[in-house]
Amino acid sequence: MHEFSIASAVVATAAKHAGGRRVTVVSLRLGALRQVVPDALAFAFAIVSRETVCDGARLTWESVPVRVRCAPCDRTSTLERLPLRCPRCGDGGVAVVAGEELEVESIEVEEEAACTA
């Protein structure tokens, strides 16, 4: 159900920026910490986008890995898995700088061809 709620939010965000035009592609950035299952999201998106400007649109996504910044080391590292700890010094007081995204990065919309005369 997580994916359904998120899919609804994605459709609403895309529709807001589509300005009434038909949306053909919605591109997302999904942080690894959000635990979104892309296939489940695509399935939910196909259902909740029915009869909206996103009906039939393709969903694409880029996975954003978790990056943490360690103050003692003055260094940013990418983590493959939990724990959220600095891989260099083991410090647990790291700040998450990436990996929590749930962002609509862009959309592709259909437009009447501009007059070239």
Partner 1 sequence: MHRVKVRVAEDALDANATIAAANRADFDRAGVAVVNLMSAPGAGKTTVLERILGDGPTIGDGVRVGVLEGDVQGSLDADRLAHLHVPVVQLDTGSGFGGECHLDANMVRSALPLLPLDDLDLLIVENVGNLVCPAEFRIGEDARIMVSSVAEGDDKPLKYPLMFRTCELVVVNKVDLLEHVDFDLDRFFYHLQAVHPGVPHLEVSARTGQGIDALRAWLARLPDRVGAPA
| Residue 34 partner contact from partner 1, Zn ion, none using kind-dependent CB cut-offs of 5 to 8 Å | partner 1
Cα 114 to Cα 34: distance, rounded to the nearest angstrom? 40
C-alpha pair distances (Å), 40 with each of 18, 67, 94? 24, 25, 31
CB 87 within 8 A of CB 79: yes
Closest CA to 98 of 34, 36, 46, 52: 34
Identity of the residue, 9 or 71, whose beta carbon is nearer to Zn ion in the bound complex: 71
Contact flag: residue 73 with Zn ion (CB under 5 A):
yes
The torsion angles phi and psi of 78, rounded to 5 degrees, stand at -95, 135
Contact flag: residue 37 with partner 1 (CB under 8 A):
no
Q: Which of 7, 86, 99, 107 binds Zn ion (CB under 5 A)?
A: 86
Binding residues vs Zn ion (CB under 5 A): 70, 72-73, 86, 88-89, 91
Binding residues vs partner 1 (CB under 8 A): 1-2, 4-10, 12-14, 16-18, 24, 28, 33-35, 44, 48, 82-85, 92-94, 100-113
